[in-house]
Amino acid sequence: MSDLSGTLVGDDGPVVVFCHGLFGRGRNFSSIAKALRPDFRSLLLDMPDHGGSVWTDRFDYATAAGLVADHLRAGVAADGPVHVVGHSMGGKIAMELALTHPDLVDRLVVVDISPTGSGEVSEFEHLLTSLRRIDLEGLASLGEADRQLARDVPQPSLRGFLLQNLRRDRTTRAFGWQPNLELLLRDLGTVTDDIPSAAGEETVPFEGPVLWVAGADSPYVTAEQSPTMRRLFPRTVLLTVKGAGHWVHSQQPETFTAAVRHFLHQ
């Protein structure tokens, strides 16, 4: 049995594997996966410590990429490489996967993240702490959880995204978090840091085609990060999407889907 949980969307065509970001889950890419049919099949993976996937003892990108590699090698990539799309934290996992298991990756799409990180944790620390503040004992409904979270997170859409991770046990009716909040908070510095393969000049570059998608209004892809990205991924093409911040695929879904489809067909 695999340590990772995933859903396959579509019946025909090459496989595209989606790796989501922090606080996310594979199904966040459901609409993109449906839009890519019938040309492609999509595997929507829950990353380690998220969704229905395994909890680990510590978070690091080498371990996460290894778990994804094991899942792909035993499944959709058993007969050859697949395309991989990764956003934010999932983009770093996808990059580490391509660099350490290049036989599994055909084309790579990295969405609004770079192999080097800012190390800035305050925003994510605030969100993780806010989720942990919700009193799950005796919680009656998601609506009540939303009201508690509103004290710290005023944006309704952001609260909705975060609360997708709250699940009710069918037997006990008790609420619990699917993501490993304690571990993610403890290891947040690693989540926002460089991927391991970015550290050494001896890293063998990934020679496959790479589409690097940036939101025009996002701070996560900068000119200073470009040399490292192009050293590790020499066949990188940068696409900056207007009218999009960090969540390019949800803020400009048609533009994003068209760009991914065109890139994968080349």
Catalytic residue among 118, 120, 126, 182: 182
246 carries an active-site annotation: yes
Bond before 154 cis per omega within 30 degrees: no
Instruction: Compute φ and ψ for 240, nearest 5 degrees.
Output: -105, 125
83 carries an active-site annotation: no
Enter the tokens of residue 173: 């009716």
- HEC string of 220-259 equals CCCHHHHHHHHHHCCCEEEEEECCCCCCHHHHCHHHHHHH
88 carries an active-site annotation: yes
Q: Are 7 and 34 in contact (CB under 8 A)?
A: no
Catalytic residue among 50, 101, 246, 249: 246
What whole-number distance in Å separates Cα of residue 181 and Cα of residue 183? 6
Catalytic residue among 5, 42, 53, 88: 88
What whole-number distance in Å separates Cα of residue 257 and Cα of residue 235? 21
Closest CA to 260 of 86, 105, 99: 86
List, by residue number, the catalytic residues. 88, 182, 246
